[in-house]
Amino acid sequence: MLTTLAHFISASIIQGTPLLYGAVGEILTEKSGNLNLGIPGIMYVGGISGIISGYIYERSTQAPNPYLCIIITLLSALIGSALMSLIYSFLTITLRANQNVTGLALTTFGIGIGNFFGGSLLGFFGDSGSIALNATGAAYKASLPFASKLGLFGETFLSFGFLTYVAVVVAIIASYIINKTKVGLNLRAVGESPATADAAGINVTLYKYVSTVVGGAIAGLGGLYFVFDYIGGTWTNNGFGDRGWLAVAIVIFALWKPKSAIFSSYLFGGLYICCVYIPGLTNSDKELIKMAPYIVTIVVLILTSIKKKRENLPPASLGLSYFREER
Amino acid sequence: MATAAIELKNICKRFGSIIANNGINLSVYNGEILSLLGENGSGKTTLMNMISGIYFPDEGHIFINGEEVFIRSPKDAFKYKIGMIHQHFKLVDVFSAAENIALGIESKERFNLKKAIEDVKAICDRYGFEIEPEKKIYEMSVSEKQTVEILKVLYRGADILILDEPTAVLTPQEAQKLFAVLRKMKEDGKSIIIITHKLHEVLSLSDRVSVLRKGQYIGTVKTSETNEAELTEMMVGRKIELNIERTEPVEPVKRLEIRNINCKNREGVQMLSNINFDAYSGEILGIAGIAGSGQKELLEAIAGLQHLESGEIFYNNPKNGKAENLRDKTPLQIKELGVRLSFVPEDRLGMGLVGNMDIIDNMMLRSYRKGKSLFVQRKKPRNLAEKVINDLEVVTPGPTTPVRRLSGGNVQKVLVGREIAAAPTVLMVAYPVRGLDINSSYLIYNILNEQKQKGVAIIFVGEDLDVLLELCDKILVIGSGSITGIVDAKTATKEEIGLLMTKSNGGASNA
């Protein structure tokens, strides 16, 4: 029983980690008043960017250096997803396009890019077979050497690859910046009332751009984690599934707080995977249980809407573009 | 005399063809309170926006302590130690007072909210503010929010403070408190410019008064050497002949009887108190008053859009001769009775018309309920749209042009035209000629006169006293939510109305 529980917890953390990256990235973005629904697509792009660069590197050398594997794939995932959010930023901030439409288009686009390159990458290089970046996958999966010696505790909490811990650290840093620094105060003001921020001499455009691009890059790491740590350096079309939308749901569930996003992500990860741990379920039962995170999100939305505590509401200007002349 | 803290020379500002400010000269010294007095639309706020960096003047020079400066952004204004307290607060609701005050301040030190709170407390002690720095803005009253706004500019070290109608939102007690603070700041050597149109405030608070009228600089007088009558005359000017035709009322019958209505706005501030008047058919009743004195609430109350605390509104139905109480009716029922609100708010498209829809569809907004079939009838609205375009000379490529693309005057014509088309018995219009050129304005006046001839009771909320005096039969003057007087437009003078408009709450007597 205890072993099953331990397995369940560690499986929840594994499932929750890509969600956590997506959620923290989206929280950072939304704090600036940008509702980036392109996050699911951006996470796909983060994953495929890692796969492409990892594939090129592993193909070029006989003995891939694990550190180089990580640095190359990590950087390309960050750049790829940052570029995606840069597109979003340019369209919504500079051209003041509708945020919802832009975001949804970007998601479709990102998933398309992922599947396109995932399916045809080998063909471009004249290779056959399927993508299997074992060296990079192993590098990402490498855990602390002594973790396996610590018994159940080590297995449950210390047996993960480094990106799992980085996710938590990123969430805590994001929380600190948002709540405790001047930059965070300015950022929140931009998301709440850009006109006020503007009058106070804050560069609204700059804040929106930076937080959206950085947020997108963080979300991209979720895709990277999925392709290398979770499935070990392979690619299946649509393999990432609807995790991107779960990340967006977590933002609401966590009430725009990065620290709450940590536990929310693991909870959602657990709900996502718990059907495996309940014996005697048919396939349709499993699909039903997979809906749980969304139902929980709806309940949270209802509760916060009833209570209407101002601190728990989304940033006041979320989804609106800002134009100084429209006073 | 010493060098002025801030001096304006020959400032001009145009918006398109409208001249908002023309050749304005103004100076304020250290340790002085200057009142800037003028009617609505006289260019006071535009002028102050140029000092605070929101607009840039087309012509003229600004000097600070004798040196010429160019203020291109709010940031520049901070640099020259100018702080403006806007009428509409610029605060982040979910932030605490201290967070709002510290927002956007550039300093090399590490961000330290505790220090900010201490600094805020020090300023509070110095000037006698009462505020909890850690309280959230959304939990604050209007007066507290205003205090935060003032603290914001003081925290940034402002020496020149501009307050845009600071007392408009305050109770008399709160206003007195504010004045005490302002006097303390004055003793401290700060220069204060206060925009207002309440004469008693001007007289009790300021050292000097500068008056603007219709964008022109009229003059500056010492408060100690002037009086209400002189200031009113400077503010409203002498009567101008407009030659608007005023026909004699046709067989006036009591149409609306407003009895003792009271209403509060969402913040719980009393907007209307004990309003009593009658509106007759075939008569134009003008309503004069400073903007925001309760005109909007009054019209909305009659249209059934305002919740009333108490009071009755009787409508004498010409069809059956019965008196009906409008308070028991829904806005739709009131509309069916023939009471029409053609409200032209500050933002023209905000109420009444849908900008993205074409003229036909906008006509349909009033008639779509009529058809019996599943589909809407477009033919009648189309005819109506064409009729309105022809009769009122609406300049448009055609009836299928979105209203948003029409110029302001044409938008107003469409709105008024639609309401008149329904053959109303009561027609309420608010600022129907705001932003219109002379010709379009006269067209609207003629339409109103035609309706008057037809026996419609017209309530006309206007801002130009000359027009009110020429067009209306009676003028009701409203001040801070109560009626300060009802005068006969044929015999009343502008000065008389001006005095009634600026009459304070205490002196209000109901007609």
Task: Say if residues B92 and B84 touch (Cβ distance below 8 Å).
Answer: no
Question: Domains (ranges, CATH) in chain A?
Answer: 2-312 (1.10.3470)
Q: How confident is the model at residue A146, as a pLDDT?
A: 77
Q: Which residues of B fall within a CB distance of 8 Å from A190?
A: none
Q: What average pLDDT does chain B have?
A: 82
How would DSSP label each residue in B276-321? EEEEETT-EEEEE-STTSSHHHHHHHHHT-S--SEEEEEEE-TTT-
Is B188 a residue whose pLDDT tops 50? yes
What sign for the dihedral angle of Cα A114, A118, A120, A126? positive
Q: How confident is the model at residue B32, as a pLDDT?
A: 93
Is B209 a residue whose pLDDT tops 50? yes
- Cβ within 8 Å, pair B106-A201: yes
Of A250, A322, A192, the closest CA to residue A39 belongs to: A250
Q: Which residues of B fall within a CB distance of 8 Å from A195?
A: 90
Is B334 a residue whose pLDDT tops 70? yes
Q: What is the pTM of this model?
A: 0.76
pLDDT-derived band at B120, boundaries 50, 70, 90 = confident
* CB crowding B25-59: b at 16 or more within 10 Å, else e: ebbbbbbbbbbbbbbebbbbbbbbbbbbbbbebee
Both tokens assigned to B28: 């304020």
**Of the listed ranges A248-262, B153-167, B241-255, B457-471, the one predicted with least confidence:** B241-255
B94 contacts chain A (CB < 8 A): yes
Q: How confident is the model at residue B305, as a pLDDT?
A: 81
Q: How confident is the model at residue B403, as a pLDDT?
A: 82
The 3-state DSSP class for residue B212 equals strand
- Cβ within 8 Å, pair A196-B138: no
- Render pLDDT for B35-70 as a digit per residue (tens, 0 to 9): 998 876 678 888 888 888 888 899 999 999 989 999
Is B198 a residue whose pLDDT tops 80? no
The 3-state DSSP class for residue A309 equals coil
- Render pLDDT for A187-230 as a digit per residue (tens, 0 to 9): 999 999 998 898 888 899 999 999 999 999 999 999 999 999 99
Question: C-alpha distances in angstroms, A270 versus A95, A163, A258, A277, B415?
Answer: 40, 18, 18, 10, 58
Q: How confident is the model at residue A327, as a pLDDT?
A: 40
Place of tokens 């160019």: B70
**Of the listed ranges A137-141, B128-132, B258-262, B289-293, the one predicted with least confidence:** B289-293
Is B437 a residue whose pLDDT tops 90? no
- Render pLDDT for B468-500 as a digit per residue (tens, 0 to 9): 888 899 999 988 888 888 999 888 888 888 888
Q: How confident is the model at residue A35, as a pLDDT?
A: 95
Q: How confident is the model at residue B511, as a pLDDT?
A: 34
- Cβ within 8 Å, pair B111-A196: no
Is B348 a residue whose pLDDT tops 60? no
pLDDT-derived band at A29, boundaries 50, 70, 90 = very high
DSSP A230: I
Q: How confident is the model at residue B347, as a pLDDT?
A: 52
Whole-angstrom Cα distance, residue B190 to residue B161?
8
Average pLDDT over residues A229-257: 91
Question: Domains (ranges, CATH) in chain B?
Answer: 6-236 (3.40.50.300), 254-338+423-502 (3.40.50.300), 357-421 (no CATH)
DSSP B377: P
Q: Which residues of A fall within a CB distance of 8 Å from B91?
A: 193, 196
Average pLDDT over residues B407-427: 79
Both tokens assigned to B120: 């805020």
Is B350 a residue whose pLDDT tops 60? no
Å from A76 to nearest chain B CA?
34
Of A90, A83, A89, the closest CA to residue A36 belongs to: A89
Question: C-alpha distances in angstroms, B245 versus B279, B284, B424, B470?
Answer: 20, 12, 22, 8
Whole-angstrom Cα distance, residue B128 to residue B186?
13
Contact partners, residue B256, CB within 8 Å, separation at least 6: B278, B279, B302, B313, B314, B315, B316, B339, B426, B457
Question: C-alpha distances in angstroms, B3 versus B7, B28, B408?
Answer: 9, 9, 44
Q: What helix, strand, coil percent values describe chain B, rounded to 5?
A: 35, 25, 40
Q: What average pLDDT does chain A have?
A: 91
Of B116 and A102, more confident = A102
- Cβ within 8 Å, pair A192-B94: yes
Of B80, B6, B17, the closest CA to residue B47 belongs to: B6
Q: How confident is the model at residue B148, as a pLDDT?
A: 92
Average pLDDT over residues A260-267: 95
- Cβ within 8 Å, pair A185-B111: yes
